[in-house]
């Protein structure tokens, strides 16, 4: 049976590229027909089924344990406060703390991370880029507890004595930084999170920039652009999908971090009124409250409900990141022979 004609060609005329596509499809079909191909397909589907079963079991278990608190609070769990004395187990203050600390972390880490990745990938000599890349990968492997303890011992007094008093005197930004300089605050938690997500953003962004075609760089240089202009106009736009992926992964880690944040945020269950005020995130509230709650009690169910809320936020963030990564590219004019209507003159 003859293969269908390629789009844009006359019937019965098969372009070389279309024939190549058919040859690749036939090769894949023959490979799948072999025993190894069938075994790989079986293992793949079994693995996907196991992962789906684990995820469904996780969801069922969490919702079952959180059902008492979710039924008690209803939708108001998303905006009310946390007050066990009044049987009030809302996640409103924790959600605000989670979003604020994540926002501060991304504001600090994204520009520094993209700039560092561009420097290592395009501007720095190899004898500098190589050791720095290894060092960044090493920083990504440092446990969260180490970073949090370092922030508590080293950064907390520095912020209380120098950074926070300085920020309160800034004319425009001073309105965001009011209150006594305590050291442990939402701002410090955001800075610690920025330190933790920075290696992820740098490493993945550098890989994405390294994957940009050399022809794009050479075209910019041939037109008289400087190296920085090539990086800004060609390399970074060409690697934007990988950069978005790195930011999404960094945001996911910042949202779910608990141990390091609980050491430096102050753990105040009230609604924060300033970035210098102590607060709490969903992760830090779960860590600090779960061990104190009696199993089976309403408070224990409320802590599990906080886990459900954090999981929902993480799923939404990752879904948004996937949507950005799979955003449709602008339409490109098709290549190859163009069919000329009958009767047209050339």
Average pLDDT on 291-307 reads 85
pLDDT value at residue 137: 83
Return the closest-CA partner of residue 100 out of 305, 263, 277: 277
Element (H, E) at 88: strand 88-89
CA distance 41 to 49: 12
- Rounded to the nearest angstrom, the gap between the alpha carbon of residue 278 and the centroid of all alpha carbons in its chain is 25
In 3-state terms the chain splits into helix, strand, coil percentages (rounded to 5) of 70, 0, 25
pLDDT value at residue 315: 86
pLDDT at 138 over 90: no
Instruction: For residue 329, give both structure tokens.
Output: 């590219």
pLDDT at 213 over 50: yes
Q: C-alpha angle 87/93/95, rounded to 5°?
A: 115
Residue of 322 and 343 predicted with greater confidence: 322
pLDDT value at residue 27: 63
Residue of 309 and 173 predicted with greater confidence: 309
172 pLDDT tier (thresholds 50, 70, 90): confident
Lowest mean pLDDT among 32-41, 89-98, 141-150, 181-190: 32-41
pLDDT value at residue 37: 64
Is 252 in contact with 314 (CB distance < 8 Å)? Answer: yes
pLDDT at 303 over 60: yes
Report phi then psi at 88, rounded to 5: -115, 115
Q: How many CB atoms lie within 10 A of CB 80?
A: 16
Strand 82-83 with 88-89, pairing: antiparallel
Per the DSSP assignment, residues forming a β-bridge with 266 are 279
Average pLDDT on 220-237 reads 85
Question: In this predicted model, what pLDDT tens digit does every residue of 199-210 receive, in sequence order?
Answer: 999 999 998 888
The proportion of the chain whose per-residue pLDDT surpasses 70, expressed as a percent, equals 83
pLDDT value at residue 65: 87
Lowest mean pLDDT among 52-56, 282-286, 333-337: 333-337
The DSSP-derived string for 169-215 is T-TTGGGGS-S---S-SHHHHHHHHHHHHHHHHHHHHHHHHHTS-HH
Question: Which residues, other chains included, contact 252 with Cβ-Cβ below 8 Å and sequence gap of 6+?
Answer: 314, 317, 318, 321
pLDDT value at residue 331: 42
Report the range out of 28-37, 169-178, 198-207 with the highest average pLDDT.
198-207
CA distance 346 to 344: 7
Average pLDDT on 152-166 reads 89
Write 164-171 long-range contacts (CB < 8 A, 24+): 164/276, 167/276, 168/276
pLDDT value at residue 125: 85
Report the range out of 26-40, 97-111, 134-148 with the highest average pLDDT.
97-111
**What does pTM read for this prediction?**
0.78
Across the chain, mean pLDDT equals: 81
What is the number of alpha carbons within 13 Å of residue 216 lying toward its C-beta?
Answer: 17
pLDDT value at residue 333: 41
pLDDT value at residue 230: 86
pLDDT value at residue 345: 45
Q: How many CB atoms lie within 10 A of CB 24?
A: 10
The proportion of the chain whose per-residue pLDDT surpasses 90, expressed as a percent, equals 19
Is 277 in contact with 242 (CB distance < 8 Å)? Answer: no
Lowest mean pLDDT among 15-29, 52-66, 106-120, 162-176: 15-29
Return the closest-CA partner of residue 304 out of 89, 95, 97: 89
The DSSP-derived string for 12-37 is T---HHHHHHHHHHHHHHHHHHSHHH
Q: How many CB atoms lie within 10 A of CB 223?
A: 10
36 pLDDT tier (thresholds 50, 70, 90): low
pLDDT value at residue 33: 55
Per the DSSP assignment, residues forming a β-bridge with 83 are 88
pLDDT value at residue 344: 46
Rg (CA), the chain: 27
Average pLDDT on 54-68 reads 89
pLDDT at 135 over 80: yes
Sign, CA torsion 166/169/171/173: positive
Cα separations in angstroms, 295 against 18, 159, 185, 291, 292: 64, 38, 30, 9, 9
pLDDT at 108 over 90: yes
Is 118 in contact with 236 (CB distance < 8 Å)? Answer: yes
Question: In this predicted model, what pLDDT tens digit does every residue of 73-107 receive, in sequence order?
Answer: 888 888 888 888 888 888 888 999 999 999 999 99
Q: Identify the DSSP state of 74.
A: G
């Amino acid at each position: 049976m003859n293969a269908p004609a390629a789009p844009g060609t006359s019937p019965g005329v098969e372009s070389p590229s279309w024939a190549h596509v058919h040859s690749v499809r036939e090769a894949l079909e023959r490979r799948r027909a072999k025993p190894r191909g069938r075994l790989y397909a079986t293992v793949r589907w079994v693995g996907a089924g196991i992962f789906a079963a684990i995820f469904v079991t996780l969801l069922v278990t969490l919702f079952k344990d959180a059902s008492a608190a979710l039924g008690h609070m209803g939708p108001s769990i998303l905006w009310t406060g946390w007050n066990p004395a009044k049987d009030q187990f809302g996640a409103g203050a924790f959600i605000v703390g989670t979003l604020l600390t994540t926002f501060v972390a991304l504001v600090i880490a994204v520009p520094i991370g993209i700039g560092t990745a561009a420097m290592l990938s395009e501007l720095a000599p190899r004898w500098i880029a190589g050791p720095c890349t290894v060092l960044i990968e090493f920083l990504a492997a440092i446990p969260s507890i180490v970073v949090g303890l370092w922030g508590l011992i080293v950064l907390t007094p520095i912020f209380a004595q120098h950074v926070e008093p300085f920020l309160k005197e800034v004319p425009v930004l001073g309105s965001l930084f009011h209150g006594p300089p305590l050291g442990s605050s939402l701002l410090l938690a955001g800075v610690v999170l920025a330190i933790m997500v920075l290696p992820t953003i740098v490493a993945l962004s550098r890989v994405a920039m390294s994957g940009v075609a050399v022809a794009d760089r050479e075209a910019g240089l041939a037109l008289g652009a400087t190296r920085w202009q090539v990086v800004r106009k060609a390399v970074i736009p060409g690697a934007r999908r990988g950069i978005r992926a790195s930011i999404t992964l960094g945001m996911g880690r910042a949202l779910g971090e608990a141990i390091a944040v609980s050491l430096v945020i102050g753990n105040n269950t009230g609604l924060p009124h300033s970035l210098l005020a102590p607060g709490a995130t969903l992760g830090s509230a779960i860590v600090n409250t779960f061990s104190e709650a009696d199993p089976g009690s309403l408070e224990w169910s409320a802590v599990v409900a906080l886990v459900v809320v954090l999981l929902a936020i993480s799923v939404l963030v990752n879904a948004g990141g996937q949507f950005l990564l799979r955003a449709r590219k602008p339409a490109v004019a098709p290549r190859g022979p163009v069919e000329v209507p009958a009767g047209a003159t050339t």
